[in-house]
Structure 1
Amino acid sequence: MTQIKICGLKNSSAIETAVIAGADYLGFVFAESPRRVRPEKVRELTKNLPEEIKKVGVFVSPTREEVEEIIETAGLDLIQIHGKTELTELSRPIIRAFSIKDQDSFYFYQYPHLLLDAPPAKLMGGNGETFDWHLVDQRHLPKEKLWLAGGLNSENVGEAIRFFQPQVVDVSSGVETAGEKDLAKIQAFCQAVKIADEQQRK
């Protein structure tokens, strides 16, 4: 079963919709972004979240101190890091994001989770851009810890699952309209993932 992460959440209606639709991970952005949210608000929004739904904090080139403080304040379960970092270990598991511009050496990084994303525009992540999937040499790709992002939506996520067989698909702008989370698009994305998984099993 492909797991689902809905990222860039800021309000209770989007969170509730994501949970009911079948999301496994909820992403909260703490880097410069229109989707940025305060750690205190995340704790408040997720205080009644089912235990099996995990909260992911998204950072760009953070310091250890910054991350650990927000982990405690927001109550995070995993940490997603974009940009430059020397952090390889924190009090929560790291999802290391790699922007795919060309063949990269991400295969050899010893992180528990690897996220493949499109090259950044002005801001990291959530740009709605896909990357050339054929640039990734899948012969050495650790599928058991692969997370996939980069312009995913309900129309292309099925193809992405068939191409990569990732553990997790990660969406932000693909479930938005005019920069805000669209509840119908969240539902459609989660349904498309389920359909793709069913087709894979046939």
Structure 2
Amino acid sequence: MKSIIQVAGIRSLEEAQAIMACGINYLGFPLRLDIHTPDLTEEEASRIIRSLGKRCKSVLITYLNKAREITEFSEYLGTNYVQLHGPVEPEELVKIKKAKKIFIIKSLIIGSVNEKCLVENMRFEPYVDAFITDTFDPNTGASGATGLTHDWNVSKRIVEISSCPVILAGGINHTNVREAIRLVKPAGVDSHTGVEDLHGNKDPILVKKFMEETTKTFDELLNRNPEL
């Protein structure tokens, strides 16, 4: 599959359009969260997602863990892509798949549990379309949008044993994405705070640098080994 490059934490239609102009079409919308406060109202997010249409793969990032709530909310927003950070059970994922054609990305949080527990979470493989590894912040309890990196060797191990694509997140930006991709060899990368200015808005220059470094590194790996 084509490498996934996602920028999360969209705040406006103009911001979304500027990110897409850099060549990025996976945009994350964090809503109904556990720790953080959403950047947008649900109504604003729905308007933006519907305005972007099929040109963009808008991803609902949420801590919801019940199939009915997830499918109804994604329907309201107008997206078939969800990134689940909550403690969802496999049977709920089965219900989602039966109810609606949804691309499910399941988070695996590095730092909140040990590596053995993360490997055990691979039981979700039959029910999801991709995994995303992110970073736990022990000071806030947050498991995403922390701006913190984690032990990439754990993510590398997950990539090696997973039959599903694995997206790498957690403190990724244009200065470290090259090293991260070379070590972990993920199917994609995600950046949130790593492409923001001091006010939390996406910086077009940082987004462009992130995109350039990411695509360059993925191209190098593919040219070196077509099977990667």
TM-score (structure 1 length as normaliser)? 0.89
2:214 matches 1:193? yes
Deviation at 1:5, TM superposition (A): 0.7
Q: 1:153 to 1:35 in 2, by over 3 A?
A: farther
- Give, as a single letter, the amino acid of the residue that structure 2 aligns with 1:172: H
Of the candidates 159, 172, 186, which is equivalent to residue 166 of structure 1? 186
Q: Which runs of 5+ in 2 are unaligned?
A: none
| Aligned residue in 2 for 1:73 | 76
Equivalenced residues, count? 201
Instruction: Kindly indicate whether the alpha-carbon contact (under 8 Å) linking 2:6 and 2:28 is maintained by their aligned counterparts in 1.
Output: yes
2:203 matches 1:182? yes
| Aligned residue in 1 for 2:67 | 64
2:136 matches 1:131? no
2:177 matches 1:157? yes
| Aligned residue in 2 for 1:18 | 19
Q: 1:82 to 1:183 in 2, by over 3 A?
A: same
- Give, as a single letter, the amino acid of the residue that structure 2 aligns with 1:64: A
**Bigger helix share:** 2
SS at 1:88's partner residue?
A: helix
Deviation at 1:50, TM superposition (A): 5.3
| Aligned residue in 1 for 2:109 | 99
Instruction: Kindly indicate whether the alpha-carbon contact (under 8 Å) linking 1:2 and 1:193 is maintained by their aligned counterparts in 2.
Output: no
Q: 1:186 to 1:139 in 2, by over 3 A?
A: closer
- Give, as a single letter, the amino acid of the residue that structure 1 aligns with 2:208: Q
SS at 2:145's partner residue?
A: coil
| Aligned residue in 1 for 2:141 | 122
Using the TM superposition, name which of 34-43 and 144-153 deviates more.
34-43
- CA deviation string 1:139-191 (max 9, x = no partner): 4133x511111110011111111122222211101111222222221111111
Q: What is the root-mean-square deviation of aligned Cα atoms in Å?
A: 2.0
Q: 1:158 to 1:140 in 2, by over 3 A?
A: same
Q: 1:128 to 1:77 in 2, by over 3 A?
A: same
Of the candidates 80, 83, 87, which is equivalent to residue 84 of structure 1? 87
SS at 1:65's partner residue?
A: helix
SS at 1:151's partner residue?
A: coil
- CA deviation string 1:27-59 (max 9, x = no partner): 001133234423321232133425242110011
